[in-house]
Copies of this chain bind each other. A is one copy, B any other.
């Protein structure tokens, strides 16, 4: 079994990670096509030691391709995903274009793999902050439904792409050299700073990233009533998101039970040693598949053990994006 695969957005930070993960996991790619916008056409990228020339997405004939991994932004996805799906391609789309479309499954394989059963040729990959929160919260929610969540994020530059990661590095160097800096990829200085997430603030006072975390989680968990308040903040970290998560339950949820559940939960690695102050950190989550979870504790502000608090960290480019998409592809094209 081998799958004719096309990657849209291969030159981006997530595209780069698609190639690495497909190779690492030995995903059975038979013919790999790398697609990009006109200005990147002709560039070359390596996959399994072989060079691939980037082709123009606008001129590509989708017929014959079985799997499309898309990460080129919502407008490209809106343009190309329906065409690809019409030609029989199954598209796993990392953009926000189709996530809230009721006909399109929004999937985290550890959470709602069953939603893959009926798809119209497009499956949406959730927002990175949503995934990194949902992976550790889901096994707890399944044991004892979460009533309300309060989350604060510490988001890496990678969520804004390769240019933003480079800006963090270059700008930090400039600040250390005493030079004045001029933010470009981000609206504000990121070096030795942090700022409220750089997405538009909606009518309800929450920014797009925060609203994604609410509405996507409701869809993925099939929990239309779950209440979530998040504050999304960009920090001077390269590529893993950290999240402080407070959970409220109707029924008591003893800390020991949460710890037991998380210790065997799929996609989760518990990093929680109080004695040595060893807890999830973004530099440790970087390059790893599981979401690291620690600071597991009974929330002292809730009565009768009805609250839990956690700290989670996950690689934004891997589980937050490319890895989750490839895991979806693995479920769609199971090996014999």
- Which A residues are within 8 Å of any B CB, using their own CB? 148-150, 152, 154, 168-169, 172-173, 176, 187-189, 192-196, 198, 200-201, 204-206, 214, 227-229, 231, 233, 235-238, 242, 244, 246, 255, 274-275, 277, 279-283, 294-302, 307, 309, 311
Contact = CB atoms under 8 A, between A and B. Distances in A.
A110 to B, nearest CB: 24
Contact of A236 (B206, B237, B296, B309): B237
Nearest to A195: B281
Given A235-B235, A300-B214, A301-B148, A307 B229 contact: yes
B297 A150 contact: no
A189 B132 CA distance: 22
Contacts of A246: 150, 229, 231
Contact of A231 (B189, B192, B244): B244
A301 B235 contact: no
Contacts of A300: 204-206, 214, 227, 229
A152 to B, nearest CB: 3
Given A193-B282, A228-B301, 11 more contacts: A187-B277, A201-B274, A201-B275, A204-B300, A205-B255, A205-B297, A227-B301, A229-B307, A231-B246, A235-B236, A236-B236
Contact of A301 (B149, B154, B200): B149
A285 to B, nearest CB: 10
Contact of A297 (B152, B206, B228, B238): B206
A229 B309 contact: yes
14 contacts: A168-B192, A172-B172, A192-B237, A192-B238, A194-B237, A195-B277, A196-B311, A204-B300, A205-B297, A205-B298, A206-B297, A214-B300, A229-B300, A231-B311
Contact of A154 (B189, B235, B302): B235
